Amino acid sequence: MNRYLIVSDLHLCDVEDHADGWKDYKSSRYLFDEALRGLVQDAVHRRPQGASFTLVLNGDVFDFDLVTAVPDPPPWPVSRPERKRGLDPTPEKSAWKMGRILDDHGVFVDLLADLVRSGHRVVFVLGNHDRELHFPEVRRVLVERLRERIEASGDTMDDSRVLFEPWFFLVPGEVYAEHGNQYDYYSSFRNVLCPTVRLDREVRIALPMGNLSNRHLLSRMGFFNPHASDFILNLFAYLWHWLRFYAFSRRSLVGPWLWGSLVVMGRLLRVRAALQRQTPDCEALLDQEGTRKGLPREVIRALHRLHLPPITGRFFRIVREFWVDRLLIAVVMIGGTVTLALVPIPLWIKLMVPLTAFPLAFFLYESLVRGEDIFTAERRMPERAREVARIVPVRLVTFGHSHVPLLVPLARGVVYGNSGTWAPIPERWRGPLREGYRDFLLVDIGDNEARVMLDSGLELRRSGTTGEGEEGP
């Protein structure tokens, strides 16, 4: 019997406390490290007799994009934009950010060290927000921090108990765990096994649009929560948000949005151009990954074909996501209205065209160009999981990424589970944050049985026992 505890999207970062609620999602009052430790200890203690235990951290465990701190003094050159929006994702700078995150999450480090010291496994499946774990330098910081804790207790660390999976974690016939960002073209990499690009004579992570938006937009619009979709509003809601949080403060919304949008689009195009000039041997990496996993060549390539290409190949969708197209339309309509007011034409034309023709044209434009959005990947994830299960026979296919917990059957004896998130969530876009649902999947698989339960750590924190949850076959 094997027991797996699967959690994802913890989004651990450094802690910031601001009296006015700025970047409230990083506040110390939303730390859940103790609750997570309680959940893990309970899962270990209550596992079936003789069962092994594996903690699967299924992506976005750390959130490097939210760390805007800079060392003082820095041991390497730091640009002015980096001082405002965070360090570039290079090996040395990302390693410093890893240490900064761990400094604020000592309980989490102790939890992992206790598991490894007790002979259990800890698996890190890389997501899009912790893709900087791709660098050996970053992994080394984490492993060495665990080693310090373990050796301080008089034990020796077994490095084989800590696994880093750049793509997916697989136990044949049992579990397939992948973060899921490769099925979302806002967050996907051209090739998940070689996510780097050389820019300015440095190797760095080729950050997708979602990551860049967090770094250059949401980090400068701190009254929005980057862990939820509460920043996707209509025009009137944006106006109300501005009036409530920005109009009577020294903070700005329009400037960071406009400049940040241009910066993100420029960086996406720059990364795209650099990737087109560089031709890393990613095909060989696919074969190596298949060999490491014990999968035939056609299987590993079939799994890779399910991934979506990054949005960098669809410039219009980039422009649309940042509302640049609607801003240009608004400028044209305002200019047209002013022009009509100045030319010698009948008054009814001056009134009717702006009041009827312009809104109708905008409605038709929106109807014609509306397509995929950030919710599309969430809706399609169960079908992606079904395709994975057809390629790799397992009892459970699990993703994270969408932050929406879900447990649904895919076929007889096969289920798809989404492990949700532990990050804080808003009551509503206009309200304060509250604790996340702290979702997890608890999986027990033996020779003749499989039990999958989706539950919430909030219930465990209140009662000290595992709730009934929602079970699969």
Helices then strands (H, E): number in the chain? 16, 16
Please work out, in degrees rounded to the nearest 5, the angle formed at the alpha carbon of residue 80 by the alpha carbons of 75 and 85.
Answer: 95
Separation of first and last alpha carbons in the chain: 15
Q: Which of 372, 412, 418 is nearest to 397 (CA)?
A: 418
> Residue 94 has what pLDDT?
98
Q: How many residues does the chain have?
A: 473
- Specify whether the CB–CB gap between 60 and 179 falls below 8 A: yes
> Residue 460 has what pLDDT?
47
> Residue 231 has what pLDDT?
57
CA distance 15 to 28: 6
CA distance 270 to 272: 5
- Which residues does 92 contact at the CB level (< 8 Å), separation at least 6? 75, 76, 137
Q: Which residues of the chain have pLDDT under 70?
A: 229-237, 280, 371, 373-374, 426-432, 459-473
Task: Note the pTM of the prediction, 2 decimals.
Answer: 0.87
Tokens linked to 315: 């410039």
| Domain residue extents for the chain | 2-318+374-471, 323-369
CA distance 116 to 160: 9
Residue 267, Cβ neighbours under 10 Å: how many? 18
- Specify whether the CB–CB gap between 97 and 13 falls below 8 A: no
> Residue 236 has what pLDDT?
67
Cβ burial, residue 305 (10 Å; 0-12/13-18/19+): exposed
* SS3 category, 425: strand
CA distance 35 to 12: 14
* SS3 category, 356: helix
CA 118 from centre of chain: 30
* SS3 category, 315: helix
Half-sphere exposure of 409 (CA within 13 A, CB side): 8
